């Protein structure tokens, strides 16, 4: 995520080769060839009381429509700034550190069953605050909700959708082949929501619990996060009495080949700590950690 390093042989335009990891990590990439082979599934829930207060505060500050989606993305960007290995990806059976933090998400142009969906990609810097995240997301969401084909994804998807099924399948295979060697046309990669740091899906807007969403073998997105609708549950006070608590469930699916389990667990713990202390996202991190060479 830094421009201090010069591009070396074997690097891609969107990331640099990571060459100093323990040998087992490079072996694992060749044992588990596909992202679906290497999926780890994680589920948790968060007490929504402090988050609800935080969301209300942000809306009062003028951040219209601010919600848990903005918070979860801002928290993930902050975790990447401190735990950069979660922003690695696998391509061509090699491990790369991504140059940017890129969010992919689907946006419906309006909330009707058959309305057009558009994919957006939002780019962040590791020093971004929750305000930066909100502004960048809202800009892209507003563009995606315009009528017709409003971004590169819409245009490319419409063009290739006209291809006969056999040719369409051949086109996808050709793009995957070129991507393996890092030479896929940039316009396709720019349009592809499958080339990103994290994919986030809001199932709470549909009123259902989160699913464990699979990772896509096409592209290189190593993390998929979904969260569901608010729900009420009984919880215990220290004195043994009960109270009703509002929680939100969320799931995380990761590509285990990018880093080890201990590192990933520490990143998920940091994510949960930020949910309990979202005010930390109002200011930039004191330090930004760079990934290893």
Q: Which of 185, 189, 66, 178 is nearest to 123 (CA)?
A: 189
Give me the residue spans of the domains in the chain: 15-277
Average per-residue pLDDT for the chain:
92
Query: Vertex 102, ends 100 and 104: CA angle to 5°?
Result: 165
Q: Most distant CA pair in the chain: distance in Å?
A: 66
Query: Which residue is listed with tokens 């699913």?
Result: 211
Confidence of residue 109 (pLDDT cuts 50, 70, 90): confident
Per-residue confidence (pLDDT) for residue 18, from 0 to 100:
96
Residue 149 has pLDDT above 70, yes or no: no
Q: Which of 80, 66, 88, 70 is nearest to 15 (CA)?
A: 88
Q: Crossing angle for the helix pair 165-180 and 152-161, nearest 10 degrees?
A: 130
pTM of the model: 0.92
Per-residue confidence (pLDDT) for residue 1, from 0 to 100:
59
* DSSP string of 22-57, one letter each residue: -HHHHHHHHHS-SGGGGEEEEEEEEEHHHHHHHHHH
CA dist 150 and 141 (Å) reads 10
Confidence of residue 93 (pLDDT cuts 50, 70, 90): very high
Residue 112 has pLDDT above 80, yes or no: no
Helices and strands, number each (H, E), in the chain: 8, 9
Tell me the percentage of the chain whose pLDDT exceeds 90.
77
Q: Which fold has domain 15-277?
A: Chloramphenicol Acetyltransferase (3.30.559)
Tell me the per-residue pLDDT of 39-55, one tens digit each, with 9 for 90 and over. Answer: 999 999 999 999 999 99
């Amino acid at each position: 995520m830094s421009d201090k390093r010069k591009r070396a042989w074997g690097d891609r335009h969107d990331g640099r080769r990571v060459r100093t990891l323990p040998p087992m990590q490079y072996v694992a990439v060749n044992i588990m060839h596909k992202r679906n082979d290497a999926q780890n599934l994680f589920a948790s829930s968060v007490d929504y009381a402090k988050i609800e207060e935080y969301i209300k505060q942000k809306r009062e500050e003028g951040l219209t429509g601010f919600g848990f989606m903005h918070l979860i993305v801002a928290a993930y960007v902050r975790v990447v700034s401190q735990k950069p290995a979660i922003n690695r990806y696998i391509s061509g059976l090699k491990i790369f550190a991504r140059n940017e933090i890129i969010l992919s998400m689907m946006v419906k142009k309006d909330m009707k069953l058959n309305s057009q969906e558009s994919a957006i990609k939002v780019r962040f810097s590791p020093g971004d605050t929750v305000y930066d995240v909100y502004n960048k997301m809202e800009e892209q969401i507003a563009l995606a909700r315009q009528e017709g084909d409003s971004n590169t994804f819409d245009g490319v998807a419409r063009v290739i959708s006209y291809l006969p099924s056999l040719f369409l399948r051949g086109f996808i295979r050709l793009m995957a082949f070129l991507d393996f060697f890092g030479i896929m046309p940039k316009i396709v990669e720019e349009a592809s929501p499958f080339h990103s740091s994290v994919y986030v899906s809001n199932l709470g807007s549909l009123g259902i619990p989160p699913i464990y969403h699979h990772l896509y073998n096409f592209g290189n997105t190593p993390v998929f996060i979904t969260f569901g609708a608010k729900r009420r549950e009984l919880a215990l006070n220290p004195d043994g009495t009960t109270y009703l608590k509002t929680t939100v469930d969320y799931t995380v699916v990761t590509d285990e080949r990018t880093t080890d389990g201990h590192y990933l667990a520490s990143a998920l713990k940091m994510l949960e700590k930020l949910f309990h202390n979202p005010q930390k996202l109002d200011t930039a991190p004191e330090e930004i950690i760079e990934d290893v060479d």
